[in-house]
Amino acid sequence: MRAHENRMIAITLGFSIYLLLVFPKTSDALQCYNCTDIADVNECLTVTECHAGQSCHIEVKSSGQRSTLGCTDNQLCGVSASGAGNLIGREISGRQTLDCHECCSKDKCNKNLCSHLTPGACIDDVKVDCAFLNSFFNICKDIQRAKLICAKFCSLCSLVDGNWASWSPWSTCDVTCENGTQTRTRQCSDPPPANGGLDCTGTPTDIKTCSKQLCPVHGGWSEWSNWDACSVTCGVGIERRHRNCSNPVPDRNGLPCFGDTLDVQMCFPGPCANGGWTDWGQWSTCSATCGDGLKSRSRTCTNPSPSPHGKYCDGDPIEVVSCRKSSCSPNIVFKANDITNKTPSNGHTVIFGSTLVNEGNAYDTSTGIFTAPVNGTYSFSIHMCTQVNKYSYATIIIDGTTYATVYVYDENSNSCNSADTVAVLHKHSKVFIKCIYGCTTSFIFKDGNHMNSFSGYLVHQ
């Protein structure tokens, strides 16, 4: 540059460069406009003289866009932020806001500082030789700096930095009770960044706390209490337990607890009594009108009856003995016991493997079949005992026809039951016991008080 123009080039700190034109002072003391917190710098008409070692200074604050003009020490006119991206006296990162801190060393120059914030047209800074800067420092490569001083030269007139549009209205509170949040948003669209311009700085979302009335408290059940004592000391009773709607108690129009406050179940503290036999009844009349017959007597397990979970009576409810009338011909009678096949399949013959009496030898212990030796009227009976929780059906079959059925079952103790029938048989008629149901597992029970038997006799010819 020519020496007579008395210009001074200020070289940037780091990568930044800026050129200031300094003219000779026209007075011994530098004069600067001097105003505090004004809206328009052009309204500042007050002038002050600076002391030695001071320069004109302007500071623009974004809050309310107020400005302060006056003198400041030269030492305060340096870069206001350290590092790359700064020009002398200016923070380039702040160019996108209305904050500004700049100095100059000629009279009253502070009134025209910071004009680069709101340029009226796409022009280059008249104080800068853009061609010189680009030749030596390639200023056009640094778009964010070049747009401030050499926008036209560097073809950056179409560059637009983004600016936030207005905030949207606050959203409704995201809860209906207690504390929640509201949000509002804004778009970087006033204008949007274009052609290499900076995006908006800051957040597009704003959040604040909102408060509603206290929430209702819905009721909750407490834990169940322990079970009360059973209502009886033996037999079958009930026991109860309780709970309360107190965890928490409903409040502020909260819902009540749904369900029952009382729970009831059956209880079984133990049997009140085991079963007991009544006295034997009277003997029946002899089954034969002549010769040998049978007579029986019975008793019931009702003295007392077993209570729930009580033990059933042990022993037989029926006692059968022989009786004799005037002799008839012939004497045919048998009583077989000791079932040999304790797990007969359904529909198979139950075989009693031994006999207590077998007059006439009509009962076969190997096949379980009684074969009538003569024509006549016969009486047959069956007595069977089953295991606990087992059950079975057995029938007296005469020549293929069912004459009587015995059902045996008990859920608490071993049980026995009997069935009998009378039939007119022809010689060689076949009589046997057939298990018709519940015979697939071991179900027969026998001990000193429980006997399984199959018996019969000829009543008369």
What domains appear along the chain, each with residue ranges and CATH number?
3-118 (2.10.60.10), 161-214 (2.20.100.10), 216-270 (2.20.100.10), 292-460 (2.60.120.40)
pLDDT digits (tens, 9 = 90+) for 264-323: 999 888 777 888 899 999 999 988 877 788 999 999 998 888 877 778 899 899 999 988
How are the residues of the chain apportioned to helix, strand and coil, as percentages rounded to the nearest 5? 10, 35, 55
Q: Give the side-chain half-sphere CA count within 13 A for 452.
A: 25
- Chain centre distance of CA 299: 62
Token pair in block for residue 380: 């047959």
pLDDT digits (tens, 9 = 90+) for 184-241: 999 998 889 888 888 888 899 999 999 988 889 999 999 999 999 998 888 888 999 9
Residue 194's pLDDT is what? 87
More confident call, 120 vs 390: 390
Token pair in block for residue 59: 């500071």
Distance, CA of 458 to CA of 5 (rounded, Å): 160
The residue among 186, 214, 215, 216 whose CA lies nearest residue 201 is 186
435, 347 in Cβ contact below 8 A? yes
Distance, CA of 67 to CA of 38 (rounded, Å): 5
Q: Whole-prediction pTM value?
A: 0.32
Token pair in block for residue 441: 């597992």
153, 147 in Cβ contact below 8 A? no
Distance, CA of 219 to CA of 233 (rounded, Å): 37
Token pair in block for residue 121: 């047209």
CA distances from 402 to 192, 323, 348, 374 (A): 104, 27, 14, 21
Distance, CA of 285 to CA of 293 (rounded, Å): 9
What phi, psi does 430 have (nearest 5°)? -105, 130
- Chain centre distance of CA 139: 65
